[in-house]
Structures are given as structure tokens and as C-alpha cells.
Amino acid sequence: MAGTPDERLSGARKRKAVSCESDQIEGRPENAPLGNLWSCALTEVRCVAGGEDELGEGPAWSAAEARLYWFDIQGKRLNWLSPGDGARGGWDLPVRASVAVPAAGGGLVLVTEAGLGRFDTRIGKLDIEAPMDLGPGFRTNDGKIDVNGRIWWSSMDDDGGKRPGRLFRTDPDGQTHVVLEDIHIANTVSCNPEGDAYYFADSTRRTIWRFPMSASGDLGERSIFATTLESSGAPDGSAVDAEGYLWNAQWGAWRIVRYAPDGSIDQIIPMPVGQPSSCAFGGPELSTLYVTSARERLAASDLESQPLAGSLFALEPGVRGLPLPDFSGKLIP
């Protein structure tokens, strides 16, 4: 790609570029992989909720409550952070959950291994309204609401995605549809600002695809958007910004990558942990990118080199996130 790294960071996004040598990134082991970098933004990454999430996932911003919600899937816990005053808390859940969507009228819609339900954030109570049978040994994974108010969510085999799972779409009328099958670890369930393109990753295939999407939510023929075959990591959860760029957490690669709408790499942000798992924009202006992480399958020696694994991080990327609606529909027809 033509131009210097600084030239490729244009307008409001321009910031000092660094060479990304491993000894320039504080807290990062010397052998931590970065992949083939051509642009790396010097962006401060802050730990805003130190923790020990076994599998931190599913960050979601509630504008009504001014809170960032996220899960420890394996710990059966829903966490929250109030950035305004730094307060934080959470609830133990009766089942594993992985997707939180703010609901019109208050509270959250949660996607869980038992089905879809409503969570009252005033009293910490979950009510499963739409029970689902995902099959023995399956749980939910990544999911998000799209710009048209539909909830997309996925299932995966709990044994590392060995058996194929599925991608679902729950429409505002309460109808749930199977959208994709033969997927193993579904991630990056996100649409573009116009609502006519959909991004989806299968982490086991280390590929992000782009689908044309109709007004009704039907997906067309997929094309490869980006892959991580050049690095040691796999694409995990993502967030889209207001400019239509995709921010992707890359599991095993110690980094967040910002992809342009054509699939080219715009920025790479090194992380102090090897397993960043997902990201979401939050804050009153949607100007903060929050990143979850995991301790899952890390040996004691790994945890010595990344003691913040399982924490929630925040950074100011210089762009705002794509506003997403609250869910205003039904969970059952």
C-alpha cells in the first residue's frame, strides 16, 4: 500500500506512528506476536476494570443507564461499569449468557444458553421469555443488535467449537430465524452504518466475511473481507464506528485491528493481553472503545507475562462508534 504510516492515518485519526518493536510496548513480552504491521497507532490502553474473567465477552453500552455491560461467560456473571464515577458491580446468573442488548423501556435483553430473556437491572433478575434448545454441549457466543433493531446471535460447541454451530436472527416481531449453519466459533456479528452489509467471522477459519444484506435481514453471497492467516491470532468480536470501519479484537494476537470498508488494515493497536475477545464503543459520545479479555486456557507462565488478562480495557481511538438502537420488539411471536 502506498504512502507512509503517517500519511495513511488521515484527518481526525492521525496520531504519532511508532515502529511497534516489542520493547517499545510496555508490559508486552518480547516474543509476543504482532503480525505484519505497517501502521500502529500510539494509543493509550487503560485497564478500567481489573478482574479475572475466565472468558470476558459481549461488551454493550447502555445509553439510558450510562453503563458498560459485559460477561464472564464461563463464570456465569454479568458485569457493569459506570465510567462517569468509576462505580462497578455485577450479578451472578443462573445460566451462561453472552449477549446483552439494551431494551426500550429499560433493562436488557440477554441471550443465554437457555434462550432469550429480559434482565431487570434494578433488581438483578433474569426472566427467560423465549426458551431455546441449542443441543447438548452447546452454548451461545457472539451477538449484537443491528441498525434496524434485529438481534443477531450465535451458538457454538462448548468443546472449542469442534462441532458446528449456527447464526440466528431474532426480529422485532419475535420470530427467530437460522441464518447460517456449519460455523464453528461465530464472531464479529456486525453490520455497516447503512445496514446493507453484514460482517461475520468464524474464528476457527481465521476469516472475516462480508455479506450483502437486504432490508429484511436476508444475507446474500459472501466474500472474504479479511483474514488473520498472516498472524498468530484469530478474529474475535468486533465493533463498527460511525465512519464504517470495523474494529476487531484478535484472540491470540495481542491486538485490536481497524479495518477499512474495503478490508485493508487502517490501524493496529497493541494490547497488554494476548486474548482480547471483543470490543464495543461506549461513553456519552460513543468515543471510547472498550475491550474485554480472557484468562481461559492460559498457563501460569502466561499469566505472569500478562497479569491483566481477564480485565476490561478502554482506549480513545479518535472516532465515534456507530449508534445502535435499543431492542423495541418481542422475544416470542
One-letter identity of residue 272: P
Checking if the pLDDT of 77 tops 90, the result is yes
Checking if the pLDDT of 327 tops 90, the result is yes
Phi, psi (degrees; rounded to nearest 5) at 247: -100, 125
Q: What is the 3-state secondary structure (H, E, C) of the chain?
A: CCCCHHHHCCHHHCCCECCCCHHHCCCCCCCCCCCCCCCCECCCEEEEECCCCCEEEEEEEECCCCEEEEEECCCCEEEEEECCCCEEEEEECCCCEEEEEEECCCCEEEEECCEEEEEECCCCEEEEEEECCCCCCEEEEEEEECCCCCEEEEEEECCCCCCCEEEEEECCCCCEEEEEEEECCEEEEEECCCCCEEEEEEHHHCEEEEEEECCCCCECCCEEEEECCCCCCEEEEEEEECCCCEEEEEECCCEEEEECCCCCEEEEEECCCCCEEEEEEECCCCCEEEEEEECCCCCHHHHHHCCCCCCEEEECCCCCECCCCCECCCCCC
Checking if the pLDDT of 17 tops 60, the result is no
One-letter identity of residue 119: F
pLDDT at 67 (0 to 100) = 99
pLDDT in tens, 144-172: 999 999 999 999 999 999 999 999 999 99
136, 144 in Cβ contact below 8 A? no
Checking if the pLDDT of 303 tops 70, the result is yes
pLDDT at 39 (0 to 100) = 43
Mean pLDDT, all residues of the chain: 90
Checking if the pLDDT of 15 tops 60, the result is no
How many Å is the maximal CA-CA distance in the chain?
56
Checking if the pLDDT of 18 tops 90, the result is no
Candidates 31, 62, 64, 63; CA nearest to 79 is: 62
pLDDT in tens, 169-205: 999 999 999 999 999 999 999 999 999 999 999 999 9
pLDDT in tens, 243-292: 999 999 999 999 999 999 999 999 999 999 999 999 999 999 999 999 99
Candidates 244, 201, 245; CA nearest to 226 is: 201
pLDDT in tens, 90-144: 999 999 999 999 999 999 999 999 999 999 999 999 999 999 999 999 999 999 9
pLDDT at 41 (0 to 100) = 53
Q: What CA–CA distances, in Å, run from 196 to 188, 217, 235?
A: 16, 9, 22
Interatomic CA distance for residues 271 and 137, integer angstroms: 32
Domains in the chain (CATH in brackets) are 32-315 (2.120.10.30)
